[in-house]
Chains A and B, each alone.
Chain A
Amino acid sequence: QKEVEQDPGPLSVPEGAIVSLNCTYSNSAFQYFMWYRQYSRKGPELLMYTYSSGNKEDGRFTAQVDKSSKYISLFIRDSQPSDSATYLCAMTSGTYKYIFGTGTRLKVLA
């Protein structure tokens, strides 16, 4: 079993929809959680960074962490075609070693 599981998709939604992306993990030591967006043939770009449990909002993006369920989510409101990309979750217990999910490919249809 991988330490971090993420549905690879692809996930196709109409423009304006609310998108929900999720990761589950098995290592209870993870405390720091990140979401990255990666466009095709580009490096990942940091979107959200959260510590421990709770919610964090930034514009159209909301990150949620539920440590009791070992489950994290990223919500995108009013999705746009420009949001079409691969979304990677990443986490760490507090060391330099980050564990990434496989990424979920999202396509927002105009």
Chain B
Amino acid sequence: DTGVSQDPRHKITKRGQNVTFRCDPISEHNRLYWYRQTLGQGPEFLTYFQNEAQLEKSRLLSDRFSAERPKGSFSTLEIQRTEQGDSAMYLCASTPRGGQSVDEQYFGPGTRLTVT
């Protein structure tokens, strides 16, 4: 078990460009979450998948953001037409299938996005 992995770890992009991040959850974890964390703040919920179904999207997730989880395995988060306000750490977390009534989330190392 290698834990939750995220790729890339760092991304620098120019305003207006599109970026895509990938998250590989712990194998057989059927629930996957995306969060955004800015400096000095806690993680803010963005979206949640159970298997391949996206069950909830935060209003923080504007129409420039889209997330997918094909086949219920890895997930991607795409940001189109990036803005400087998108600069943040994007965190992925997963929870085990058949876990306790409330999931214990396991976080990846995050992708740090800088929009110049």
Contact = CB atoms under 8 A, between A and B. Distances in A.
A pairs with B: yes
Contacts of A31: 102
Contacts of B45: 97-99
B33 interface: yes
Contacts of A42: 109-110
B48 interface: yes
B85 interface: no
B28 interface: no
Interface size class of A (residues with CB under 8 A): 20 to 34
Interface in B1-32: 4, 31
B43 to A, nearest CB: 5
B69 interface: no
Contacts of B110: 41-43
Interface stretch (A11-19, A62-70, A88-96): A88-96
A99 B109 CA distance: 19
Interface of A: 4, 6, 8, 31-32, 34, 36, 41-46, 49, 51, 88, 90, 92, 94, 96-103
29 contacts: A6-B42, A8-B40, A31-B102, A32-B102, A34-B105, A36-B107, A42-B110, A43-B93, A43-B108, A43-B110, A44-B107, A46-B105, A46-B106, A51-B102, A90-B42, A94-B101, A94-B102, A96-B31, A96-B55, A96-B103, A97-B45, A97-B48, A97-B56, A99-B45, A101-B42, A102-B40, A103-B40, A103-B41, A103-B42
